[in-house]
A and B are shown apart, each in its own frame.
Chain A
Amino acid sequence: MGEGQRTAKRDTEQLVKASQAGDRGAFDELVLLYQRCAMCAAVRILGNAEEAAETVQNGFVNAYLNIGKLKDAEQFEIWLLRIVTNAAISQARKAKRNAQKITIDDSLEDKKVLSPVESESSEELKEKIKQAMLKLSKKEAKAISLFGLEDLSHKKVAEIMGCSVEAVRWHVFRARQKLKVLLKDYL
């Protein structure tokens, strides 16, 4: 572990303890330290920055309201990512349910609006990835999303998911297999 990481860890520990003692400023600092990491995880699951931002906001509020329950201050990052990824998966499934309520007529109308240029835009890929992620199980979606995050060791991913490193690797393998089929046109 590098000196920088050790300092950040110590800082986090102190900030968590201060937050638990009721120091709101300390929690604001934690937000600043971890908002990027939380956002990366949420975007990977939801495939959409707007929805991810909403999920991250709710995740931090949830963390703030329950920070007193966190026993080990060192585990803040893992705890926060667990909250955010769970919220992101719930959000994705909720969005899927809402999307299913759209009538066939509505979806045809939407298709008319799209031009050929637009259909080959990043929006299309974004949507395809979002739909593909929804076809994965919760664990697979979590594993593949967290596995690709920089600075997040496999051990940490396993801790966030509450399973062994081997199990994480298995979920990643399964997720890749499924995504390769679902997104074959983009590979």
Chain B
Amino acid sequence: MACISCKTKTKSIIERLFVMKNGQEKIDLLLECNADEQLKNVDWNKLNAAILNQLDEAKKYKASVRKHPIVFKIAAGVAAAAAVVFIAVMIKPQRPVDIKLGEGRTAMVEFIGSKGSASVAIIEPSDRAHAKVNIAGQSEKTANCCVQIIDSSTGQKEDVNRPSWFIICMSEYTNGNNGINRDAMDMLYLF
């Protein structure tokens, strides 16, 4: 199929094929034909006037920047500062604050102990609070864990006296590299 972009399409292509330059291909001709068709109706004087008009606007802007450099610098500084604040707010990690029993949030705290049965106490539940773990009377050992406080009243509203649940998930990095120990080990305690 010949180039349909030109009204005199077939003739145009055939004529062009005769003057095809070295290395030029049909696809080049098609692009050339389309570009020529597009440029055929361009009013160059109008385009020139439009460019010069835009340049006038740019010149005014340039002049005002030169005239009031401090104002522009302050404006740029304010904009930059606002952008920095915005970015800082956006990338701030979502950390739980002031966790209370029953809110179902998660906090990272250090806990003391090792694998085995334990009694757990939570002191001032928040992201900075400590979970005190006493493991079978052994000496205290430190490891990282994830403390999750679950709202036990969800779906159990008829029992208002139902206690909250407290879960400690052992970090896999602190708990061996293979077998069942690779998975986070959950310990569930009932207050």
Interface residues of A, Cβ cutoff 8 Å to B? 24, 27-28, 31-32, 35-36, 39-40, 43-44, 47-49, 52-53, 56-58, 60-61, 64-65, 120-122, 124-126, 129, 144-145, 147-148, 176, 179-180, 183, 185-187
Contact = CB atoms under 8 A, between A and B. Distances in A.
Given A58-B54, A64-B58, 14 more contacts: A40-B39, A53-B42, A57-B47, A60-B54, A61-B58, A64-B55, A64-B59, A65-B58, A126-B5, A176-B27, A176-B28, A183-B27, A185-B1, A186-B4
27 contacts: A24-B59, A28-B52, A28-B55, A31-B48, A39-B39, A39-B47, A40-B35, A44-B35, A49-B39, A49-B41, A53-B42, A57-B50, A57-B51, A60-B55, A61-B51, A122-B6, A126-B5, A126-B38, A129-B34, A144-B31, A145-B31, A147-B28, A176-B28, A179-B27, A179-B31, A185-B1, A187-B1
Contacts of B2: 186
Contacts of A31: 48, 51-52, 55
Q: Sorted from nearest, which 5 A-B pairs have the closest CB atoms? A: A122-B5, A49-B38, A125-B5, A61-B58, A43-B35
- Counting chain A CB atoms within 10 Å of each CB, the highest count among B2, B32, B34, B57 belongs to B34
B31 A125 contact: no
B140 interface: no
A32 B34 CA distance: 24
A49 B25 CA distance: 23
Given A39-B42, A43-B38, A125-B34, A60 B28 contact: no
B123 to A, nearest CB: 53
B7 to A, nearest CB: 8
A187 B54 contact: no
Nearest to B24: A148
Nearest to A49: B38
B67 interface: no
Secondary structure class of chain A's binding surface, majority of residues: helix
Contact of B50 (A49, A53, A64, A185): A53
Contact of A35 (B26, B28, B44, B58): B44
B3 interface: yes
B54 A61 contact: yes
Given A49-B41, A122-B4, A122-B6, A32 B50 contact: no
Q: How large is the interface on B (under 10, 10 to 19, 20 to 34, 35 or more residues)?
A: 20 to 34
Nearest to A175: B27
Contacts of B51: 31, 35, 56-57, 60-61
Contact of B47 (A47, A53, A183): A53
